[in-house]
Amino acid sequence: MRMQSVQSPIIPVVAELIRENPGTISLGQGVVSYGPPPEAIAQIALFLADPENHKYKPVVGCPELLEAFEKKLAAENGIPLGDTSRLIITAGSNMGFMNALLAITDPGDEVILQTPYYFNHEMAITMTNCRPVLVPTDASYQLQPELIRRAITPRTRAVVTVSPNNPTGAVYPEAALREVNELCRERGVYHIHDEAYEYFVYDGAKHFSPGSMEGAGAHTISLFSLSKAHGFASWRIGAMVIPEALLASVRKIQDTILICAPVISQFAAVGALQAGAAYCREKLRSIAEVRELVRNELTSISELCDVPRADGAFYFLLRVKTTLPPMTLVERLIREHRVAVIPGNAFGLENGCHLRVAYAALQRDTAAEGIGRLVGGLKKILGQ
């Protein structure tokens, strides 16, 4: 059966271990500690005031949210909508990714992922009976466009990039993303670019949307999410910008799976976009302080692990200097030291021991305690 070849999502597995070991501090799941802005909550009263809002709404999204998102894309991402590109509101960017795969692939087609990859992307490709083709990033988790070029075959339908990146925290330079996007245009494949962490950049790093490139609209699929920046994870609102040629297919897919994104969440999303990027950037200051704390603690144990540069998102992906299997190390950290992280093999890293550390879900004091437990646990387990 098809689903037997799909990996089990790692977050619920680690969550069960956390439940079995009360008092564990989680440096695992990638969420923020804050909720939506007041402007989002205020929209709920408007939703409830009209009984018509309890009915189905347009498949592509409510007009008010489409308008607000279009303004955001123009002002912040430089992505134009018009003859070549269309905007669809989705139930999170994971749904946008699945919409894209179903629209552009047939069973047996290939989709190129960068390793380490976001595990839900690999799972979705496998679910659609396509083949994920894995292209390694370099030692700093940066793109290697020449390797991507070599990996393209007649069955390739898309190249996927995520920046700022989950799970590595790497931010891909504009030049690298331009090169990949132009390669996709030359070879007649789609460039699927996930921008869920667009606001989470540090130390002078810049976010770039390849969908803003001249002529990119016909082959670029851009995915967005409110889950991270606007504290909207459970509300399930995202968006996708797609080539006009894919609109009919994506409408069929979304109408079949969902009909429309939750309307109450779409109302709230209008308020979230009214608050805008400023809401996230205000929160980003405290996240950046926690990031610095975590980075300093991890750097102090360089004899036990390497910490590649991570200028974005809210992750560090450690290379641990051990022969222990990553899940064995994760289980011991939870059971013996009450701190949880995510094993790197969930992201396609089969050689060596890697751990993903997430830090945005915790207040400073809790994060300090959690990273202290992690550092102490690694020292004890690895015999230092």
**Domain ranges, ordered by start, for the chain:** 2-30+278-381, 38-275
pLDDT of 9 > 70? The answer is yes
Q: How far apart are CA 79 and CA 209, in angstroms?
A: 8
Long-range contacts of 127-133 (CB under 8 A, 24+ apart): 127/2, 127/3, 127/6, 127/98, 128/98, 128/101, 128/102, 129/2, 130/101, 130/105, 130/157, 131/155
* pTM listed for this prediction: 0.96
Are 69 and 271 within 8 A, CB to CB?
no
Query: What residues contact 17, with CB distance under 8 A and at least 6 apart?
Result: 24, 330, 331, 334, 335, 340
pLDDT at 3 (0 to 100)? 80
Q: How confident is the model over 73-107, as pLDDT tens digits?
A: 999 999 999 878 999 999 999 999 999 999 999 99
Two tokens at 342? Answer: 């995510």
Averaged pLDDT, 110-139? 97
Higher pLDDT, 363 or 135: 135
Q: How do beta strands 156-162 and 131-136 pair? A: unpaired
Q: How far apart are CA 76 and CA 276, in angstroms?
A: 10
In the block, tokens 């409830």 appear at: 48
**Mean pLDDT over all residues of the chain?**
96
Are 139 and 308 within 8 A, CB to CB?
yes
Averaged pLDDT, 57-81? 97
pLDDT at 384 (0 to 100)? 60
Two tokens at 317? Answer: 């992906």
Higher pLDDT, 4 or 286: 286
Directed axis angle between helix 277-299 and helix 263-275, to 10°? 80
Q: Is 240 in a helix, a strand, or coil? A: strand
Q: How far apart are CA 339 and CA 21, in angstroms?
A: 9
Write the class of the CATH domain 38-275.
alpha beta
In CATH terms, 2-30+278-381 corresponds, of 3.50.50.60, 3.20.20.100, 3.90.1150.10, 3.90.550.10, to 3.90.1150.10
Question: Phi and psi for 164 in degrees, rounded to 5?
Answer: -55, 150
Q: How confident is the model over 333-343, as pLDDT tens digits?
A: 999 999 999 99
Query: What residues contact 20, with CB distance under 8 A and at least 6 apart?
Result: none
pLDDT at 2 (0 to 100)? 75
Q: Give Cα separations from 128 to 3, 102, 238 (angstroms).
A: 10, 7, 21
DSSP for 66-78?
Answer: HHHHHHHIIIII-
Beta bridge partners of 161: 193
Averaged pLDDT, 49-68? 97
Averaged pLDDT, 287-309? 95
8-22, 130-144, 161-175, 212-226, range with the lowest pLDDT = 8-22
Length reported for the chain:
384
Are 283 and 255 within 8 A, CB to CB?
no
